[in-house]
Structure 1
Amino acid sequence: MLFSEIGLGPEVLRAVEDAGYSQPTPIQEKAIPWVLQGRDVLGCAQTGTGKTASFTLPMIDILASGRARARMPRSLILEPTRELAAQVAENFEVYGKYHKLNMALLIGGESFGDQIKKLERGVDVLIATPGRMMDLFDRGNILLSDIKILVIDEADRMLDMGFIPDIERIVGLLPKMRQTLFFSATMPPEIRRLADAFLMNPREITVAPPASPAATVTQAVAMVRGEDKREALRHLLRTEDVKNAFIFCNRKRDVALLHQSLTKHGFNAGALHGDMVQSKRTETLEQFRQGEIALLCCSDVAARGIDIAGVSHVFNFDVPHHADDYVHRIGRTGRAGKTGRAFMLATPDDSRTLGAIEKLIGREIPRIMIDGLETPDMSEGEGDGGRRRRGGRSDSAAKVGSRRRSGSRSDAASEPPREVQAEAATVAEETVEARRPERPERSERQDRPERGGRDRNRNRDTRGEAREGGRSEGGRNDTRPPRQDDRGEPRRRWRDEDDGPTVVGFGDDVPAFMLRVARPVARAVPPETFDGSDTPEA
């Protein structure tokens, strides 16, 4: 079937022909007619099948008639990453060059001012990531009441990145009467529930089994130790005919470290991960696309949807934590009927994750050996993909830790039982008590003599003179008489006798302020009758 047979307009067909395409891919052949009819579509297709064009081409035809108003876009396309959003924008520029459609790209890392100016001029196609989209909506720069077409692309990736709450909020702000196009590479139960909530009587299109690798990709896995992974990767890069390649790591920190290592050993490599500023990410990706960089070390942010033709190799420096990510990673090569090669470096700790990948793709990945490196036994690892060991601890470090733990256990085993330790402690206490000399008994404490009364009628001036005259050089008053107590009986402690009868309220000691007669309250006089003669008492 040709593009001219699926109902596209002449301007779109001319743009597709200018791009060098004549036959649609299976997802395009099945999806485009339903989109043109205004039906909701649920598409399940792996990356590299051309699903971006399956919604951009019919959207250009649908939006060709009509005009957008200020801050009220007519269509909305949500993408999980900046790179995917930029790639969709490029598709609209290529295929919509014969139409006068206004397009705005809302992604992080770009100026708010430029994006707001585009929105105020009116936008037919709004392409955005959920985060920047909600930022501008909360600022009052976007009105979503005129959305006719909603596209949610890479929905499973949205789920992995935690964007589903934002997606649900955005969909809740849109008109109920709209056309929704929902695309995902995989269809887990969570994605299926979202599709049931967002779509209305959709046409479900599946062009390949979920998460199945392309048949044109030759796969292999090398079993190495953790400390040998970089050397194994360098060996593969030197022995393979690598034109250009993606090298995937699980963590952004490892991307930077691997990039430095490859550059140090003379390889033409670049890095791409989520912590880079947008301008640097765009520059690096363009250099890789133009062939200025041969090797691109990246995290999974680049594993979805980045369409770079002619990638010869994909290297998985780390085994992905999720089996689906393996299919998306190796989908960067072997596109458009071309052959590609994908290698993965696995350690004994990756045995469980490797088994999950092989179960997903339905076959065992062939094992290869690296010359000069020892192939470890898979039974040495814990089989948890290295997740229990923080910081990516190597096998040698793990062995040192196990030796330390075993040593501590042997020390504990050499100690005597607890009963023997308790008996020995009792004997030692008895020995110490026997050697301790006996204390002489205390004699009874004699009663203190009674203190005399204090002379309260002493003149203040006399006390002042005595303080001044009796003060020594050190500042202390040596002539002060001994303190006397005016109480007639010795001081007793509260422990010597009980408290006596229970006192109710204040008892006999009523405070003086409570014995005073209350002053009568003066009657208030209205302002109009007050003449100043009968002033109430203050």
Structure 2
Amino acid sequence: MKFADLGLSDELLRAIIEAGYDTPTPIQAGAIPSVLMMRDMIGIAQTGTGKTASFVLPMIDILAHGRTRALMPRSLILEPTRELAAQVAENFEKYGKYHKLSMALLIGGVQMGDQVKALEKGVDVLIATPGRLMDLFERGKILLTGCNLLVIDEADRMLDMGFIPDIEHICTKLPANRQTLLFSATMPPPIKKLADKFLSNPKTIEVARPASRNENIEQFVVKTSERGKRDTLRALIEEEDVGTAIIFCNRKTTVRELAKSLQRYRYRAGEIHGDMDQSSRIAELDRFKNGDINILVASDVAARGLDVKGVSHVFNFDAPWHPDDYVHRIGRTGRAGAQGRAFTLVTPSDDEALDNIQKLTGYNIPVHGGTAKASPVADETEAPREPKSGRRGANRNKGRDDAPEAPRARAKAPPKPPKAAPRPPRDDESDDGWNGPLPDFLSVGFGS
């Protein structure tokens, strides 16, 4: 089957061919005719299978007829993250270049004034994150009564981020007689309930079992220790001769620290996480897409829907807390038929998380048999780093895997009693460490 067989307009087919595509993916072949027939639809497919184009392409032809009105968008696409919203906007620009359609992007982290000005002129397509849309709606800057087409993209991610109540509220403000499209990689019960409530006799298109294994991605587990994780990661990067890779961490603080550690070892690494403002996140993604950096250390803000061509490897520095996130993380590689490799670093405390991942995917991930091994202490002959001043900083750096500088010779000090191992932080605790002054009583040794 070709795109020309799906009933799309000549102008749209011309843009598709110029973009380098000829044959639709299974989700596109199944979804596009149904969307053009104005049916409600549920699309379930693995990440990286072309879900975005399966609704962008028919929407362009549907919206080619009609006129816009101020503050009343004709269609609405809801995305869980700013990056996904920006990516959908890029798709509309690429495929809609021969159609005179107006578009507005409502996302947080940027000035609201320019977004309001775009709405006042009237738009055919409004792409928004739920938070910013609700904000503008409550300020009376937007009306949804003229919106006849709603797309809820990455619905399972919306659930994880707590957006379902907002989506339900938004749906009540839209016309009852509308077309609704829901796309998701998985279909947990709350999403099924949402679909039953707001979709009318939808057609369900499922091109792969939810969370099933992507045959284009070779998956491996790498056993290591908490202290030796960074050594293991660097050994894997060298062993695999990585071209372009995304490294996922569970915490934003881990993202920052790991990116700085890789940079100290002369890797071209960048970072992206939720604490960065939107302009910084876009700039970092552009550097990654343009090849200025080839390793992107990221939190799960980058795990859904981001389509960067040529990502050869994904590394899970931390085993994800939610098994669904594993599917989306490794889906950043092996896209559009390409081959990819995914490695997950696991410590003894990750046994339960690994079991949940394997139960969800129905696949026993093999243990990597390469040469990468965890080492308890870093090789202190590796890349130099600037020493930190102060007794606390020196003690904290000693033995860390990102502090390879050899220790200076010192006069022998009286022996001190052994210290108890520090209690690891809980998930809800900060892992930044104590940076305040050292209390006087801690500097007094026993028997002195």
Relative to structure 1, the CA distance from residue 311 to residue 371 in structure 2 (aligned partners, 3 Å threshold; closer, same or farther) is: closer
- 5+ residue gaps in structure 1? 376-384, 394-538
2:163 maps to 163
**Could you tell me how far 1:391 is from its partner in structure 2?**
5.7
Determine whether 1:303 maps to 2:303: yes
The corresponding residue for 1:356 is 356
Cα deviation 1:107-156 (Å, max 9, x = unaligned): 01111111111101110000000011011111111011101100000000
Q: Deviations over 1:300-345 (max 9, x none)?
A: 0100000011100000000001111111101111112111111110
Other-structure match for 1:19:
19
| Mapping for residues 150-189 of structure 1, pairs under 5 Å | 150-189=150-189
Contact 1:272 1:298 in 2 (8 A): yes
Partner of 2:280: 280
- Please state whether the residue corresponding to 2:335 is helix, strand or coil: coil
Aligned residues, how many?
Answer: 385
Shift of 1:372: 5.2
Partner of 2:232: 232
Shift of 1:368: 2.4
Measure the CA separation in 2 of the matches of 1:84 and 1:197: 25
Deviates more, 1:353-362 or 1:281-290: 353-362
Q: Please report the RMSD computed on the Cα atoms of aligned residues, expressed in angstroms.
A: 1.7
Question: What amino acid maps onto 1:373 in structure 2?
Answer: A
Could you say what secondary structure the match of 2:337 adopts? coil
CA contact (8 A) 2:44 2:207 kept: yes
Query: What is the CA-CA distance between 1:371 and the residue it aligns to?
Result: 4.5
| CA distance in 2: counterparts of 1:208 and 1:241, whole angstroms | 31
> Hey, which bits of structure 1, 4+ residues long, moved more than 3 A?
369-375, 385-393
Q: Per the alignment, do residues 37 and 234 of structure 1 end up closer, same or farther by CA in structure 2, a change over 3 Å counting?
A: same
Contact 1:244 1:311 in 2 (8 A): yes
Q: Distance in 2 between matches of 1:50 and 1:85?
A: 15
Distance 1:307 1:161 in 2: 20
Task: Choose 1 or 2 for highest CA Rg.
Answer: 1
Letter in 2 for 1:152: I
Contact 2:213/2:363 (CA < 8 Å) preserved in 1? no
* 1:373 positional shift: 3.3
Question: Do the aligned partners of 1:213 and 1:330 also contact (CA within 8 Å) in 2?
Answer: no
| Gap change, CA 1:389 and 1:194, over 3 Å in 2 | closer
Question: Conserved in 1, the CA contact under 8 Å of 2:248 and 2:318?
Answer: yes
Counterpart of 2:396 in structure 1 is none
**Contact 1:213 1:331 (C-alpha < 8 Å) held by counterparts:** no
Aligned-partner residue type, residue 352 of structure 1: E
1:218–1:340: 8 Å Cα contact kept in structure 2?
A: yes
Residues 371 and 162 of structure 1, relative CA distance in 2, 3 Å threshold? closer
Cα separation, 2, equivalents of 1:27 and 1:389: 39
1:255-270 paired onto structure 2 within 5 Å:
255-270=255-270
Task: Spell out the pairing of 1:238-253 with structure 2 (5 A cutoff).
Answer: 238-253=238-253
Report the Cα distance in structure 1 between the residues aligned to 2:96 and 2:57, rounded to whole angstroms: 8
Query: 2:210 aligns to what?
Result: 210
Higher normalized contact order (CA 8 Å, seq sep 6+, divided by chain length): 2
Residue 213 of structure 1 deviates from its aligned partner by 3.0
Q: Who is 1:373 aligned against?
A: 374
Distance in 2 (CA, whole Å) between partners of 1:371 and 1:299 is 24
CA distance 1:113–1:198, change in 2 (3 Å): same
Residue 444 of structure 1 aligns with which residue?
Answer: none
In the aligned structure 1, how far is the partner of 2:245 from the partner of 2:24? 27
How high is the TM-score relative to the length of structure 2?
0.84
Q: Counterpart in 2 of 1:336?
A: 336
1:66-105 correspondence runs (5 A): 66-105=66-105
Letter in 1 for 2:258: L
Query: C-alpha distance in 2, partners of 1:329/1:388?
Result: 20
Give the secondary-structure state (helix, strand or coil) at the position aligned to 1:187: coil
Q: Given that residues 350 and 386 in structure 1 are in contact (C-alpha distance below 8 angstroms), is that contact kept between their aligned partners in structure 2?
A: no
Q: What code does the residue aligned with 2:374 have?
A: L
Residue 61 (1) aligns with residue 61 (2): yes
Contact 1:243 1:294 in 2 (8 A): yes
Amino acid in the other structure paired with 1:25? T
Listed as ranges, the matches of 1:110-509 within 5 Å are 110-368=110-368, 370-371=371-372, 373=374
Secondary structure of the equivalent of 1:134? helix
CA distance in 2, matches of 1:73, 1:2: 32
Task: For residue 242 of structure 1, give the secondary structure of its aligned residue in structure 2.
Answer: coil
